[in-house]
């Protein structure tokens, strides 16, 4: 509850957060300005939420036991300061190998998406365009029993509620907004897991990884947590991750579908990129890939070409496969998913211009 409240307080929902931080917070803490001295970064809240899930919770307190006050901002502030000190200490050990540039990549991967934000039209449009049609959409529906569009609809509805309220009933009536009961149930089956399962998953995913900052987040897979005997109460420490799951996260639902699926979302991503460039820079002459002769062979050019006076001045090679966890946060990335595609792209560009 404390983490949800701090996130709400610094996401423009002070009125709703106030009820759960009734034992005090500085007025300056009600800000979304990441440069504020009171800022609690969203990626830190995500780390704390995951770490809490890995720790067993005492069923009862002994006499004289210290109890954490979760109704004051100062508690969150102290937790964050301790987390930062821990991460700094762990980083000093990790950087003994002088992996400064690699560390910059990991910091960027952890922070940049949060800084850009998840709840925007671009997120929904791009991912629906790439994964929400064709054989990708068919594969997703066969796998989960709902369409990508319905999945997005449920996700947005849950986000809209949980951004300002800390809990929602799993059996809520969605008919006033045109949400079918069966669709909601199936979507929650993907988005949510009972607390007991989330604890076990967090321990399994995060064990054996030294650096706290770069341990996998189970909230990326299941941003909602079910409480109660039957999981009848749904909470989301960071409701923004619901949007991430129904947009970016759809990739992980379809990537295992085989070559035809990957070819489908790959070609659609190329189409999206070309449309985007034409819309943003309409004065430029953007062209799709074309065939050209290379010795005795006919090969494809890079996916997008910029022409000026009939000469290619820029070539763009599109790769739609997302990098795996190890490529984004591990210490040895070259063998991880996604880097093979990058290597191929570099070779294709070199071959074209040579």
Q: pLDDT tens digit string along 47-88?
A: 999 999 998 876 666 677 778 888 999 999 999 999 999 999
Q: Are 127 and 231 members of one domain?
A: yes
CA distance 281 to 46: 37
- Does residue 336 have a pLDDT over 70? no
pLDDT interval class at 334 (50, 70, 90): low
Q: Are 110 and 151 members of one domain?
A: no
DSSP state of 334: T
Averaged pLDDT for residues 100-123:
88
CA distance 106 to 90: 14
CA distance 282 to 28: 44
User: Which of 254, 275, 299 corresponds to the end of one domain?
Assistant: 254
Residue 92 is assigned to a structural domain of this protein: yes
Q: Are 50 and 144 members of one domain?
A: no
4 vs 343, which has greater pLDDT?
Answer: 4
pLDDT value of residue 344: 84
| Residue range(s) defining the domain that contains residue 199 | 121-254
CA distance 326 to 329: 5
Q: Are 271 and 293 members of one domain?
A: yes
Residue 216 is assigned to a structural domain of this protein: yes
pLDDT value of residue 332: 58
User: Which of 236, 254, 272 corresponds to the end of one domain?
Assistant: 254
Counting residues of the chain whose pLDDT is more than 70, the rounded percentage is 95
CA distance 145 to 229: 25
58 vs 158, which has greater pLDDT?
Answer: 158
pLDDT value of residue 7: 95
User: Which of 206, 225, 254 corresponds to the end of one domain?
Assistant: 254
Place of tokens 């039209």: 121
Tokens for 302? 């890079």
Q: Are 217 and 128 members of one domain?
A: yes
Q: Please choose, from the candidates 266, 217, 249, the residue with its C-alpha nearest in 3D space to the C-alpha of residue 110.
A: 217
Rg of the chain's alpha carbons, rounded to an integer? 23
Tens-place pLDDT, residues 197-222: 999 999 999 988 888 999 999 999 99
The alpha carbon torsion through 43, 26, 57, 86 (nearest 10 deg) reads 50
Q: Is 178 helix (H, G, I), strand (E, B) or coil?
A: coil
Residue 125 is assigned to a structural domain of this protein: yes
pLDDT value of residue 289: 92
pLDDT interval class at 35 (50, 70, 90): very high
CA distance 97 to 40: 30
Q: Are 15 and 106 members of one domain?
A: yes
Q: Are 237 and 126 members of one domain?
A: yes
Q: Are 212 and 287 members of one domain?
A: no
Q: Are 209 and 286 members of one domain?
A: no
How many structural domains are present in the chain? 3
Place of tokens 């319905």: 150
Q: In what order do the strands lie in the sheet with 168-169?
A: 168-169, 233-235, 224-227, 192-194
Q: Are 106 and 125 members of one domain?
A: no
- Does residue 307 have a pLDDT over 60? yes
Q: Are 107 and 132 members of one domain?
A: no
Residue 62 is assigned to a structural domain of this protein: no
- Does residue 108 have a pLDDT over 70? yes
pLDDT value of residue 294: 78
Q: Are 129 and 146 members of one domain?
A: yes
Q: What is the value of pTM for the model shown?
A: 0.91
pLDDT value of residue 328: 77
Residues 291 and 301: beta-carbon distance below 8 Å: yes
Residues 236 and 158: beta-carbon distance below 8 Å: yes
Q: How far is C-alpha 235 from the geometric centre of its chain's CA atoms?
A: 17
């Amino acid at each position: 509850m404390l983490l949800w409240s701090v996130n709400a307080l610094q996401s423009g929902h002070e009125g709703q957060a106030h009820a759960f931080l009734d034992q005090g917070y500085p007025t300056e803490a009600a800000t979304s300005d990441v440069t504020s001295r009171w800022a609690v970064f969203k990626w830190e809240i995500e780390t704390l939420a995951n770490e809490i899930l890995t720790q067993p919770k005492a069923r009862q307190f002994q006499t004289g036991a210290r109890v954490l006050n979760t109704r004051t901002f100062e508690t969150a502030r102290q937790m964050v300061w301790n987390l930062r000190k821990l991460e700094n200490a762990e980083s000093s050990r990790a950087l003994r190998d002088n992996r400064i540039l690699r560390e910059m990549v990991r910091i960027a991967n952890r922070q940049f998406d949060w800084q850009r934000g998840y709840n925007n039209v671009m997120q929904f449009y791009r991912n629906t365009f790439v994964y929400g049609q064709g054989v990708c959409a068919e594969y997703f529906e066969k796998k989960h029993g709902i369409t990508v569009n319905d999945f997005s609809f449920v996700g947005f509805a849950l986000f809209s509620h949980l951004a300002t309220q800390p809990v929602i009933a799993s059996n809520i009536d969605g008919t006033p907004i045109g949400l079918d009961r069966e669709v909601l149930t199936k979507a929650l089956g993907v988005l949510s897991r009972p607390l007991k399962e989330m604890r076990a998953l967090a321990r399994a995913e995060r064990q054996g990884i030294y650096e706290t900052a770069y341990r996998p987040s189970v909230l990326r897979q299941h941003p909602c947590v079910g409480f109660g005997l039957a999981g009848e109460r749904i909470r989301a420490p960071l409701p923004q991750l619901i949007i991430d799951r129904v947009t970016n996260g759809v990739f992980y639902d379809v990537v295992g579908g085989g070559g035809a699926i990957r070819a489908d979302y790959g070609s659609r991503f190329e189409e999206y990129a070309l449309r985007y460039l034409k819309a943003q820079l309409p004065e430029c002459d953007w062209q799709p890939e074309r065939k050209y002769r290379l010795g005795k062979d006919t090969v494809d050019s890079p996916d997008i070409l910029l022409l000026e006076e009939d000469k290619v001045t820029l070539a763009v090679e599109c790769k739609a496969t997302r990098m795996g966890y190890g490529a984004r946060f591990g210490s040895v990335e070259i063998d991880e998913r996604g880097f093979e595609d990058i290597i191929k792209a570099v070779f294709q560009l070199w071959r074209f211009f040579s």
